[in-house]
Structure 1
Amino acid sequence: MNELFIGHIKEIVRHPVKSFRGERVQKTKIMDYGLYGDRSHAYADADTGKFLTITQLQEMVQYQARFAGEPSMEQYPDVEVITPEGKVYHWDDEDLIKELEHLSNRTITTREYRPTHVPIGPIAVENILLATDASLEKLEDLWGKDQVDSRRFRPNLILSLNEKIPFVEDDWIGRRMKIGNETEIEFVGHCKRCMIITVDPDHAGRDASLHKTLIKERNNNFGVYASVKRTGDIYAGDEVHLLD
């Protein structure tokens, strides 16, 4: 099988709690469902059973979730949440739940999945969401307003491309990519964007102009989804190769 070296993994981001701010890590494992622990914990509306997300509570972007401890296949490490005020809670602490209930005007329940199985739903449409540095830079030019913060798009992987061709990932759909020595993913489709990208990750204010730019210039597409074909460990800085 032919391999084309196209760049490196620039950033690895996992989101231990759905819709909370993710954590950048230097290494992790790609499981059948995606990054280890990605969207493994979530809050839900007790009345509707639907996940609580930034769509319903935009302030969620200001809460930082992180694993505290070594990863295990038997159980996840404890999940800590840092509030916008800097307080640190366990993710299901009663005081934190009350705070979120007050902000959302909802009764909230918690959901936690196993390290070996996070179903599609908490994760989104597919296993892994990927973006490139060239596309982020080009979108900044198209928007012409502020620096584009990658956290708005909640990618799991950001690639640093050897050739800075914006939106080249459009051409990868249907192809496989090798990460490091063993892991393989297959690109399956574009990511259609919603209002979440309009929410500033720092102060939770909304600005619809970025979304309007994407709709106009990119048919509302940014980033590509991939399914996992071969599991394994990945590291920031790993080479990535397109496979024929």
Structure 2
Amino acid sequence: MGTVTALYRYPVKSMLGEAVFAVAVAENGFLGDRAYAVLDETGAVGSAKHPRKWGGLLGCRSHLDDTGMVRVVLPDGTALPVVDPELHARLSKLLGRSVIVSAAVPEHSRLERAVPEYEGGVPDVVRESASVDATGASITTGSVAPGTFFDFGRVHLVTTASLARMRQVYPTGDFDARRFRPNLVVDTDAGPGFPEDAWLGSRLRVGEALFRVVVPTPRCVIPTLDHGELPADPGIMRAVARVHRIPVFDLGRLSCLGVYLDVLEAGTVRVGDTIALEQTA
């Protein structure tokens, strides 16, 4: 049915991550993925979904070194381990307020999201409850998935077919997969389209691991922001909203690209592994 063309993990939430050739997959997703997050004194979890407050995190890169330690490379090139107090001080200066890097999820965590102007960026009922914060941004506030720093699904998959379809819709747009912060990028050997829409509820075998396809991935503002060498492109999500608003649970029709997966069987996944659908009974 297709093959894995790229694997990514993001050891610190909302920082740039790293491409890997192989990764161990456990119940909670890719080993080392979203193991840490930046927290401020209010308990807010750092997320570039609120770019005026946390956008500076996308100027940093996190990776696992050969010993398994997570290290952060700051915009000036300085590399520090997450356990180094100097990293907390540097990030506090970068973001303009006191923050720490933590592996402990706050009991009452808060995740803030900027509300996009285009329709389908957030559910209508959520848009109606938005408020303007001290940055002047209209935001909504929710929480992370219990006990984790994931927004929802443990693994995020994007197909090359969906990216190809969006390039047809918006030819001047830069639909590099990294904008969408996937864990898995898969080539389905199909033409432009959204083949993953038909996978919902199915089981997906990828290498040694088995996943359940849970729900389409609603997109936020993050794909429009600059990601390292990828420049900002505000038209990216407007294009997705024009052509691919689909039902998500009972939240209405939202702008989606990719799907969230849950892990059913652990195992190692490698670039080049085949993918295959296993229909549920």
User: Normalised by the size of structure 1, how large is the TM-score?
Assistant: 0.86
* Distance (Å, rounded) in 2 between the aligned partners of 1:112 and 1:69: 19
Asked if residue 154 in structure 1 is aligned to residue 181 in structure 2, the reply is yes
**Partner of 1:85 in structure 2?**
76
* Distance (Å, rounded) in 2 between the aligned partners of 1:216 and 1:68: 41
1:128-147 → structure 2 map (5 Å cutoff): 128-147=155-174
SS in 1 for 2:70: strand
Asked if residue 125 in structure 1 is aligned to residue 169 in structure 2, the reply is no
Contact 2:212 2:264 in 1 (8 A): yes
Shift of 1:105: 2.2
* Distance (Å, rounded) in 2 between the aligned partners of 1:159 and 1:232: 17
Asked if residue 217 in structure 1 is aligned to residue 243 in structure 2, the reply is yes
Asked if residue 234 in structure 1 is aligned to residue 269 in structure 2, the reply is yes
**Partner of 1:172 in structure 2?**
199
Asked if residue 41 in structure 1 is aligned to residue 67 in structure 2, the reply is no
**Partner of 1:10 in structure 2?**
5
* Distance (Å, rounded) in 1 between the aligned partners of 2:177 and 2:32: 20
**Partner of 2:24 in structure 1?**
29
**Partner of 1:66 in structure 2?**
63
Which whole-Å deviations, capped at 9, do the CAs of 1:14-43 have from their partners, x for residues lacking one? 111111111111111111011111100111
* Distance (Å, rounded) in 2 between the aligned partners of 1:183 and 1:199: 32
Cα distance change, pair 94–12 in 1 and its aligned pair in 2 (3 A): same
Match 2:47 to one of 53, 66, 79: 53
SS in 1 for 2:101: strand
Amino acid at match of 1:59: G
1:184-199 → structure 2 map (5 Å cutoff): 184-199=210-225
Please say which of residues 224-233 and 203-212 is displaced more in the overlay: 203-212
Contact 1:120 1:127 in 2 (8 A): no
Shift of 1:120: 5.3
* Distance (Å, rounded) in 1 between the aligned partners of 2:34 and 2:274: 25
**Partner of 1:100 in structure 2?**
91
Q: Which runs of 5+ in 2 are unaligned?
A: 106-144, 246-254
User: Normalised by the size of structure 2, how large is the TM-score?
Assistant: 0.76
Q: Which one has more relative contact order, counting CA pairs under 8 Å at least 6 apart?
A: 1
Paired positions, count = 228
Please say which of residues 142-151 and 210-219 is displaced more in the overlay: 142-151
Amino acid at match of 1:53: S
* Distance (Å, rounded) in 2 between the aligned partners of 1:106 and 1:68: 28
Cα distance change, pair 226–155 in 1 and its aligned pair in 2 (3 A): same
Cα distance change, pair 139–92 in 1 and its aligned pair in 2 (3 A): farther
* Distance (Å, rounded) in 1 between the aligned partners of 2:211 and 2:271: 16
Please say which of residues 190-199 and 134-143 is displaced more in the overlay: 134-143
RMSD: 2.0
Which whole-Å deviations, capped at 9, do the CAs of 1:124-155 have from their partners, x for residues lacking one? 20111000111112212212223212121100
* Distance (Å, rounded) in 1 between the aligned partners of 2:275 and 2:231: 35
SS in 2 for 1:18: coil
SS in 2 for 1:136: helix
**Partner of 1:74 in structure 2?**
none
* Distance (Å, rounded) in 1 between the aligned partners of 2:85 and 2:170: 41
**Partner of 1:110 in structure 2?**
101
Shift of 1:119: 5.2
Contact 1:33 1:120 in 2 (8 A): no
Which whole-Å deviations, capped at 9, do the CAs of 1:146-199 have from their partners, x for residues lacking one? 32121211000000122234210011001011112x311010101111111110
SS in 1 for 2:213: strand
Amino acid at match of 2:206: I
Shift of 1:205: 6.0
